[in-house]
Amino acid sequence: MTRFERIWNRVEDAIMGIFAGVALLLICSEVVLRYFSDFMRDNFDLRLPDWGAEVTIYLTVWAMLIAGSQLVLTGRHIRADLVVRQLPPNVQWALELINLTMGLGYCALVAWFGWKVVEFAQMLDERSESSLQFELWIFYLILPISFGLMAVRYFIRLYRFLFRFERSMLFIEHEGTTEDIIERSQS
């Protein structure tokens, strides 16, 4: 992994952690504040904002979708490789090439049409129903960003697969003895 990729991963991790962390605090503070709402209204003329749940959704969705890119990088998107692992390496190579190309194409298309969704929302000036009147294109922006990042990761994997191939890039069968497992758990 290059230095640039390490920084890229850390930026994504920071966005995920901060966005989801803030969403967590927001959803919990709503629960607590709801029970003081009468007191706050009567004594301080303060009302519970009506946008807490909405912003929680925005932040959580952003945090979740940003994570897709690293799942592509590390091959953690769930798949059934039981059958493929039984095939000869050259067949595995060809199938993995199809998978990576398909992944790149699909993510690029969803990112492109996601961008169209953003433009459309901007054109219609779509806003949320709460008092925040949040411009929804900002929320929608996660779609082209997330799928765009996944497309880039697929491109990088495809490039490495074609020009810097290593056998570990194919489907691997786990191997380990009982002693390995005990040792790993103790280390």
Interacting residue ranges for other proteins, rule: CB under 8 A = 12-14, 16-18, 20-21, 23-25, 27-28, 30-31, 53, 56-57, 60-61, 63-68, 70-71, 76-84, 95-96, 98-99, 102-103, 105-106, 109-110, 113-114, 116-117, 120, 139-140, 142-143, 171, 173-176, 178, 180-182, 184-186
In the complex with other proteins, which residue's Cβ is closer, 44 or 67? Answer: 67
The distance of closest approach from Cβ of residue 42 to other proteins in the complex, given in angstroms and rounded to an integer, is 21
In the complex with other proteins, which residue's Cβ is closer, 25 or 46? Answer: 25
The 3-state DSSP class for residue 172 equals coil
φ, ψ dihedrals at 180, nearest 5°: -60, -45
φ, ψ dihedrals at 163, nearest 5°: -110, -15
> Distances from the Cα of 148 to the Cαs of 63, 69, 141, 166, in angstroms?
15, 9, 11, 26
The distance of closest approach from Cβ of residue 181 to other proteins in the complex, given in angstroms and rounded to an integer, is 5
In the complex with other proteins, which residue's Cβ is closer, 46 or 182? Answer: 182
In the complex with other proteins, which residue's Cβ is closer, 85 or 160? Answer: 85
Residues 6+ apart with CB under 8 A from 97: 158, 161, 162
Distance CA 121, CA 163 (A): 41
Structure tokens at 87: 């095939």
Distance CA 158, CA 103 (A): 10
In the complex with other proteins, which residue's Cβ is closer, 31 or 44? Answer: 31
The distance of closest approach from Cβ of residue 45 to other proteins in the complex, given in angstroms and rounded to an integer, is 26
